[in-house]
């Protein structure tokens, strides 16, 4: 992959999405600060200059855009495994977050566009909190995690580990889909068999016990009416 590093930009995902037409190979874009970082469904991702590792990776897949369900979860597994190998125990929150001690350490945002050959360009954005100022939580209004120990590690080395893991994950996902990641995801599940709510635009959509994810990456909820699969879409999960 080609690599670009910028001090500041609006959103590395937005930058890469606007350039997909001109790409001929994978491109990694790293920003030390984002002024308009994005989460899912128009939510925002906050950063402080130098306080986190933020990057987006554009990668071509042979799969069609509609066959990407589960990709954010597969990316979560790849990143969690890198962090585990660096002695940072993390867990996964469905569908797209990485938690440390139950608090959000990293977010993942996958966006995509069809390419000319029937395949897809994906843009995988990752924001990983390394060292946040004390005021960060209060400003955000929710508990978040960082990883000061990782912050002391060489950023290029950390980035190289993540890039290698993501490249492998994309290739595996392209060939086998989410099935190759299901067991590992369930082993890292933060809310296994805990009671959770699924929230959609502020409304409680479902409530039940989070069993785990199925072979396509849908969350299996045990409810009074039996076990139901939940599609990621724009919904969010909250522990009860
Ligand atoms: P949630 O994390 O609320 O369940 P989500 O997984 O749908 O929702 P995303 O869209 O992935 O959330 O990420 C956006 C949310 O992440 C924001 O609404 C904000 O609460 C939170 N957030 C923003 N910046 C950070 C950060 N640097 N660290 C941790 N959390 C953040």
Q: What angle do CA 238, 148, 153 make, to 5 degrees?
A: 125
Strands (E), 78-200: 91-93, 97-100, 103-114, 120-129, 195-200
Phi, psi dihedral angles at 82 (to 5 degrees): -65, -45
CB atoms inside a 10 Å sphere around CB 146: 21
Distance between Cα 107 and ligand 1 center (Å): 7
ipTM score assigned to the predicted complex: 0.96
Which residue's CA is the nearest one to ligand 1's atom 5?
236
To test the pocket of ligand 1, the residue of 12, 135, 140 to mutate (highest count of ligand atoms within 8 Å of its CB) is 140
What are the pLDDT tens digits along the chain (240 aa)? 999 999 999 999 999 999 999 999 999 999 999 999 999 988 999 999 989 999 999 999 999 999 999 999 999 999 999 999 999 999 999 999 999 999 999 999 999 999 988 999 999 999 999 999 999 999 999 999 999 999 999 999 999 999 999 999 999 999 999 999 999 999 999 999 999 999 999 999 999 999 999 999 999 999 999 999 999 988 999 999
Question: Would you state the structure tokens that stand for residue 144, as one six-digit string?
Answer: 């978040």
Domains and CATH numbers, the chain: 2-187 (3.30.930.10), 195-239 (2.30.30.100)
Which residue's CA is the nearest one to ligand 1's atom 7?
236
Distances (CA, A) of 1 to 29, 122, 127: 10, 14, 19
């Amino acid at each position: 992959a080609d690599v670009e590093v910028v001090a500041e930009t609006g959103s590395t995902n937005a930058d890469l999405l606007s350039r997909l037409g001109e790409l001929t190979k994978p491109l990694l874009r790293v920003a030390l600060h984002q002024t308009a970082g994005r989460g899912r469904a128009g939510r925002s991702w906050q950063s402080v200059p130098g306080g986190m590792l933020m990057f987006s990776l554009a990668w071509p897949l042979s799969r069609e855009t509609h066959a990407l369900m589960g990709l954010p979860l597969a990316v979560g597994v790849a990143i969690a495994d890198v962090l585990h190998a660096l002695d940072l125990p993390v867990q996964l929150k469905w569908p797209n977050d990485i938690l440390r001690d139950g608090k959000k350490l990293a977010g993942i945002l996958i966006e995509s566009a069809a390419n000319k050959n029937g395949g897809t360009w994906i843009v995988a954005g990752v924001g990983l909190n390394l060292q946040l100022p004390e005021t960060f939580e209060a400003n955000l209004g929710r508990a978040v995690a960082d990883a000061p120990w990782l912050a002391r590690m060489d950023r290029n080395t950390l980035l190289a580990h993540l890039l290698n893991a993501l490249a492998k994950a994309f290739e595996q996902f392209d060939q086998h889909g989410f099935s190759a990641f299901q067991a590992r995801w369930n082993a890292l599940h933060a809310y296994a068999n805990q009671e959770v709510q699924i929230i959609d635009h502020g409304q409680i959509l479902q409530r039940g016990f989070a069993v785990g994810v199925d072979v396509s990456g849908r969350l299996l909820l045990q409810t009074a009416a039996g076990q139901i699969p939940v599609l990621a879409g724009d919904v969010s999960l909250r522990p009860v």
